[in-house]
Structure 1
């Protein structure tokens, strides 16, 4: 996983319960280590692990690298957005109870196209009661994050009455094809058919991957939220934002 604690310092910013605001700052002295960690993480987000294992068993390492490289985006803008989404997804899996779901980027129509729908959905299924709760995340990546971008993410999170979009819910359910995933797939289908999800069942995450300090910007936006879902705002600052993105993709494709 991304092991943020190994290359970032973490500060919890004060805000009204039950909401939270966390700021992560990358340690510049650990730049190479953080790039190596992310390069190891990236392939699993663009190719299923079973497919990667099959490729490594049959092909030489440089051939596998070429196939991985062909799945990664080419434009700087898409690289920025995709890396932000990977960072957000791994943060959710490492730091929250919403560990179930899919790696959405595995299902891109084309490596140089953006995906539609919610950036990330994470799920928690109570093993005793069968109750489904979920996290809906919006990830934004900018070297310098403007307030308009944060406002756009806030608008997306509050869309559909605070709930995930039906398209995004169906997208996940249709790709939970492993027999072990049947309980979650059924729970997602039932939530849609019975319209049983409420804002209180949904946690929102606004994840900002930036080169500048967004503490005040995120805090200001969070303070204006008046809906019924718990909010987690997360800022990840990598001072050399563009250099970091280029280095991660170069290492992942090598």
Structure 2
């Protein structure tokens, strides 16, 4: 079967060919069965630092609004004089410091950016900017993508997990969520409310109407599970994945020392934030 006709590509599109993901990762769309659709991602040797550089930019984008950065730059002289920039930013909690939350957020961000590259859909709201407690996982849908030009065409709903070591339990957690029946998104109204607050009332109105049609089953929804873990991830997913949901695809990313990828990416994002505030 041609790649463009595979069930993997029908659900989430082809593996990206012109972005970080094309250079950082290779992929395998493992032959699908009635109870298993799995795309395995594998890190290319020597591309880790390149990936960290890009992921750190995504971390900034997902956590810190441009307006927030502008406001901090405007106040930087008084901030540095009174508190010191490092202490001030630590108190503002732009990024999580809890390892569990960093890893969860990092996996979520990688999945969101991957799906934006592989599919024609987009994120309409960077929800991590609205987390009232940055050191705890944010409630609601992990990843939610729409086609802004035609909201009724398709929605992708994704759930991401990070584990240092993959195993049956984490695969079961994801398949319990998505594998038994199609899951509808829960956060469309949250997205609509935040967009309305930001002045995008027309789009917010459309999303409110879309939410009703989704709950009535009138809008195609794709469910995506994502696991970022070590080099044994692919084999563990293959061993334990079983689904009754034909619109559910599992994406696995297995790399050596996944915790290092996330910690270095967040550290670099912090450095970039500080430099961005200090720059004239």
Alignment check: 8 A CA contact 1:66 1:253 kept = no
Corresponding residue to 2:164 among 143, 154, 178: 143
In structure 1, list runs of 5 or more residues that go unmatched.
none
Query: Residue 241 of structure 1 aligns with which residue?
Result: 258
Query: Residue 131 of structure 1 aligns with which residue?
Result: 152
Taking the aligned partners of 1:132 and 1:66, their CA distance within structure 2 comes to 44
* Segment of structure 1 superposing worse, 194-203 or 143-152: 194-203
Taking the aligned partners of 1:187 and 1:20, their CA distance within structure 2 comes to 32
| 2:224 partner SS | strand
Query: For 1:12-59, what per-residue CA distance to the aligned partner results, in whole angstroms no more than 9, with x for missing partners?
Result: 222149x85322222342222221111122111101234334544664
Distance 1:46 1:146, change over 3 A: same
Query: Residue 97 of structure 2 aligns with which residue?
Result: 74
- Structure 1 stretches (4+) deviating beyond 4 angstroms? 60-66, 158-161, 178-181, 194-197
Taking the aligned partners of 1:100 and 1:110, their CA distance within structure 2 comes to 22
How far does residue 203 in structure 1 lie from its aligned partner after superposition? Answer: 0.4
Corresponding residue to 1:94 among 114, 117, 121: 117
Taking the aligned partners of 2:62 and 2:87, their CA distance within structure 1 comes to 14
In structure 2, list runs of 5 or more residues that go unmatched.
1-17, 272-280
How far does residue 4 in structure 1 lie from its aligned partner after superposition? Answer: 1.4
If the length of structure 1 is used for normalisation, what is the TM-score?
Answer: 0.82
Distance 1:98 1:8, change over 3 A: same
Distance 1:221 1:231, change over 3 A: farther
Query: Residue 12 of structure 1 aligns with which residue?
Result: 29
Taking the aligned partners of 1:233 and 1:199, their CA distance within structure 2 comes to 24
Distance 1:212 1:47, change over 3 A: same
Query: Residue 110 of structure 1 aligns with which residue?
Result: 133
RMSD of aligned C-alpha atoms?
A: 3.2
Alignment check: 8 A CA contact 1:125 1:131 kept = no
If the length of structure 2 is used for normalisation, what is the TM-score?
Answer: 0.75
Larger radius of gyration: 2
| 1:88 partner SS | helix
Query: Residue 194 of structure 2 aligns with which residue?
Result: 175
How far does residue 148 in structure 1 lie from its aligned partner after superposition? Answer: 1.3
Query: For 1:160-194, what per-residue CA distance to the aligned partner results, in whole angstroms no more than 9, with x for missing partners?
Result: 952112xx2221111113555733x2232113345
| 1:162 partner SS | coil
Alignment check: 8 A CA contact 1:142 1:210 kept = yes
Alignment check: 8 A CA contact 2:224 2:249 kept = yes
| 2:32 partner SS | coil
| 2:158 partner SS | strand
